[in-house]
Amino acid sequence: MITNAKAIATRDAYGEALVTLGDLYPNLVVLEADISKSTRTNKFAKEFPDRFFQFGVAEGNMMAAAAGLATTGKITFLSTYAVFASMRAMEPLRTLIAYGELNVKIAVSHGGFTPANDGVTHQATEDLAMLRVLPGMTVIMPADYYSTVALVTAAAEIDGPVYLRFTRDPVPVLYKPENEFQIGKGIVIRKGGDVTLLANGDMLHIALEASEQLESKGIQADVIDIHTIKPLDTDLILDSVARTRRVVTIEDHQISGGLGGAVSELLCESLPTPMRRIGLQNTFAESGQYNLLLRKYQMDSISIVNAVFDLMK
């Protein structure tokens, strides 16, 4: 399943997937908030200018317009940065789109602190928690190019609101074109019996690096891509954790409310298990190189290995 292909930002895969979907669905429209070059919706705008709508720096208005278009039968994708969609425009997102159960796909770039040098104003590290709490909202963070194309396509095929979170910077290509993806179903990438590593997005390849380091020390890890945080693949997680009896969640997000929060809630109710959560721990990040930020906030592969050692005690 794993390949050594070059790194590609998942926002690039999103832009390409939109063009393909534009050919398949004549009723698909795209809305943008002044940053189409950054979110890669400019590719769709070039091919389908009559179905592309630019709203400028008015994310709340864009949410309202997306809701209106969805009521007319349009498959509506809207894009901006994750931090703006989840915070600046949350009220219309909640009240018009989520409450209305409308067919709007909120597809955002710059998830987590992958826009590292841009600083905290552009680093969305709370958005998954905010969107996950909304009733009826599907929440997805793909890990690479091929999973992004597949999951964006799957999102277009279901009726209802979806939050899709992409990376600003390139991430390693982990999958192959023939790999299949289903919303709400995780993917086991490596199999082991000593610990379960649950990750998504840009953190998946770091979890894989950690699993290789653990293997060199005689520790075998399940590595599972939980690309859909809501609905959570509870059966897969419980099956793995029942075997390993140890679990580490790994996410580019606050440890509260996102992947770590979702898994903690599941295990607390169904299978109490020793657990560690890798992510931002009640702090904002800062401006700096991505790899240095991972190290500073103890989100690199060495920190994952140390968390596993702590659990093994």
Look up residue 25 and give its DSSP letter. -
CB 196 within 8 A of CB 244: yes
Active site annotation includes 47: no
Give all strands (DSSP E) within 82-126, no chain letters. 104-109
* Residue indicated by tokens 């596993």: 308
Label residue 182 left, alpha or beta by phi (over 0 means left) and psi (-120 to 50 means alpha): beta
- Cα 97 from Cα 105, distance rounded (Å): 9
| Helix or strand (DSSP H, E) at 162 | strand 162-165
> How many other CB atoms are there within 10 angstroms of residue 180's CB atom?
9
The C-alpha angle 80, 81, 87, rounded to 5 degrees, equals: 100
**What amino acid occupies position 309?**
F
CB 86 within 8 A of CB 126: yes
- Cα 63 from Cα 201, distance rounded (Å): 25
Q: 60 by DSSP, 3-state: which?
A: helix
The two tokens of residue 127 are: 């958005």
Label residue 94 left, alpha or beta by phi (over 0 means left) and psi (-120 to 50 means alpha): alpha
CB 127 within 8 A of CB 111: yes
Residue among 32, 59, 126, 251 flagged as catalytic: 59
Q: Which phi and psi angles does 103 have, rounded to 5°? A: -85, 70
DSSP bridge partners of 157: none
DSSP bridge partners of 104: 76
Catalytic residue numbers read: 59
